[in-house]
Each structure stands twice: as C-alpha cells, then as structure tokens.
Amino acid sequence: MDLEIPGCMPATAPTGLFRGAMTLPLPALNDEEGPRVDPSLPPVVDAHVHLFPDRVFDAVWRWFDQHGWPIRYKLHTPEVVRFLLSRGVSRIVALHYAHKPGIAREMNAYMAGVVAGEPRVTGLATVMPGEPGARAILDEAFAAGLAGVKLHCHVQCFAPDDDALAEVYEACVAHDLPLVMHAGREPKSAAYRCDPHALCSAARTEAVLRAYPKLRLSVPHLGADEIEGYGRLLERYDNLWLDTTMVVGGYFDGVDGWPLTVARSDRIMYGTDFPNLPYAWDRELKRFGSVRDEEVLARLVGGTARDFFRLPEATP
Ligand SMILES: [Zn+2]
C-alpha cells in the first residue's frame, strides 16, 4: 500500500476565513484535557473520528508531522476506541478514506471488523470515485455492516459535482445510507495533488443537493471556509447536515462556527477528528457545555448525529 496518504485536516497558507495565523507547521496547544465527558451533558456522539489500519495511521501521522501539526494522540484503532468510550463518549462514528484505486475493499474489511467487535462504533465505507467496481465495493461494504460512505474531495481529488460520483450518490440513495463528504475548500495544502479551491465550492455542493434530493449529505468542518454559504444551504435544503469538527475550538485564527452551530442544532452535529488533534480531546466539547437550552444541547452533542446516521438511542 502506498503510504503517502494525506491526513484529513492539513494546514496551509491562509485563504478565506483561515487568514492571518497559519504558518506551517501549526503548533500544538498544551491545553488541559478533562478526565471524561461532563456527566451533566446529554449522551455524546462523536460523529467524526478516524480509524485506520496501523500502517495507514502511522503514515497519516508522518504526513501531519511534515505538513500539518503535532498529533497529540498517536493512538491506534483499539486505543482510540477505548480512549473515547472509557471517557464517556456514548458512540463513535468512524471514518476513513482510500486515496487511490484498489485499496478500498481491504480498508472496508478492516473497518467492518472493527464495527463487528464494538457495537458502539458505527463505521462508514470508503471508495475511490470512478475506480472499477465502485458500486460493487460499496454494496459489499454495506452488506458487511458499514453504515454510509465517507468521501474527501481534497485527498481523493474530485469535485462534488464530478460525474464519477454519480454511482456513489446512487448507492447511498438506493441503500438509504448517509454520505459524509469533505466538500469545503479548506484547509488546502500544497502537499495535495490537487487544488481544493479549484474543485470545491458551496455552489458545487448545492448542485449535488439539487440533483439528489434523497441523498442525506453531511459536510464536515461546517464547510469551511464557506461557513456562511453552507449556512444558507441549510436554509434551502432539507438533505444537508454539517459537523463542527475543528471549527468551534478557536484553533484556526479567524474561524468560529459557533453562532451557526447554536442556531442550527437541528442539522449540525459535534465531531472531533480524534485522534489526529493538536489539542485536548475535549477542547471543543467543553464549549458545548455553555449551551443553556437543554434541547439544543442534546441535539448538538448527539441527537442530530443519531438522526443523520440513524443510530440507536443512547442508553443513559
Ligand atoms: Zn476528519
């Protein structure tokens, strides 16, 4: 397997909302971590966790060390799962991505094995758009217990409205399973093989929402750096969700998705990017504790993710 696999949220020169404070590599924050989830919070679902085979994790961390930021939690899959569940996270949605053709089956089999061993982990499938047998790869992954698809426009180098994606969208619709797609433009990296600003835009995502009204789509990182544009899409399309991963903790200077998050708890969910973080595992979760409306809080930290991924109700 080619191990030059890029990470999920690499850093780059500032553009758009990511202005002013991004010089490579970005620093670690030595912020204090809490011992566990605040027991007064409603059940917490982390809707954006990464799990990979060990060799891929090691390659992702090498990539971050060179292009991104210091990874605070270099934990492999069993340790990631144990870390979060033992600290009181009720459920994990696990994501991965194939960066080239020919490896998705192996990666999906790995993820299916993880899910089979821990019912509190919901795993999504990966596929390289346009690779031979893409539809069959997804059908097999769903039959093996994976509960949706993760795509990454930057790592996999495609535009949301690329024709190669039609069979992925159709597979999700046919199985009534959700799609998580990193379709925001940031953060882009010179280390990518393609320019995310040339591939991605809220307008291109809107074209997908319009063409596939039955597709349930979540865009991570609140669609950064077009957070306002994605906020407008939420108003117009009932088939769009967003997650808050890395954009409500003040790590990126000038980026704060908090006002939109609180305003649209019906369609926005908490996620972290754990374990590939440069700061405390609960940095962003602590901010949710400031929400006074109990219904809003319950949706943000778990309810909306349970709706989107159709997860079982949490047991208190
Ligand atoms: Zn991620």
Taking the centre of ligand 1 as the mean of its atom positions, its distance from the CA of residue 115, in whole angstroms, is 18
| Tokens at 199, concatenated | 């591939």
Taking the centre of ligand 1 as the mean of its atom positions, its distance from the CA of residue 220, in whole angstroms, is 7
The verdict on domain 45-309 having CATH code 3.20.20.140 is yes
Taking the centre of ligand 1 as the mean of its atom positions, its distance from the CA of residue 305, in whole angstroms, is 15
Taking the centre of ligand 1 as the mean of its atom positions, its distance from the CA of residue 221, in whole angstroms, is 8
pTM beyond 0.85: the answer is yes
Taking the centre of ligand 1 as the mean of its atom positions, its distance from the CA of residue 51, in whole angstroms, is 10
Output the pLDDT for position 56. Answer: 93
Q: Domain residues of the chain, as ranges?
A: 45-309
Taking the centre of ligand 1 as the mean of its atom positions, its distance from the CA of residue 235, in whole angstroms, is 24
Output the pLDDT for position 195. Answer: 80
Taking the centre of ligand 1 as the mean of its atom positions, its distance from the CA of residue 273, in whole angstroms, is 5
| Tokens at 7, concatenated | 């990470």
Output the pLDDT for position 316. Answer: 52
Taking the centre of ligand 1 as the mean of its atom positions, its distance from the CA of residue 284, in whole angstroms, is 14
Taking the centre of ligand 1 as the mean of its atom positions, its distance from the CA of residue 216, in whole angstroms, is 18
Sheet with 240-243, side-by-side order of all strands: 149-152, 179-182, 217-219, 240-243, 268-269
Taking the centre of ligand 1 as the mean of its atom positions, its distance from the CA of residue 97, in whole angstroms, is 10
Output the pLDDT for position 298. Answer: 98
Taking the centre of ligand 1 as the mean of its atom positions, its distance from the CA of residue 12, in whole angstroms, is 16
Taking the centre of ligand 1 as the mean of its atom positions, its distance from the CA of residue 281, in whole angstroms, is 14
Per-residue confidence in pLDDT tens, the chain, 316 aa: 333 444 444 434 333 334 434 455 789 999 999 999 999 999 999 999 999 999 999 999 998 888 889 999 999 999 999 999 999 999 999 999 998 999 999 999 999 999 999 999 999 999 999 999 999 999 999 999 999 999 988 878 888 988 999 999 999 999 999 999 998 887 666 667 778 788 888 999 999 999 999 999 999 999 988 999 999 999 999 999 999 999 999 998 888 999 999 999 999 999 999 999 999 999 999 999 999 999 999 999 999 999 999 998 766 5
Question: How many CB atoms within 10 Å of residue 238?
Answer: 11
Output the pLDDT for position 193. Answer: 75
Output the pLDDT for position 3. Answer: 39
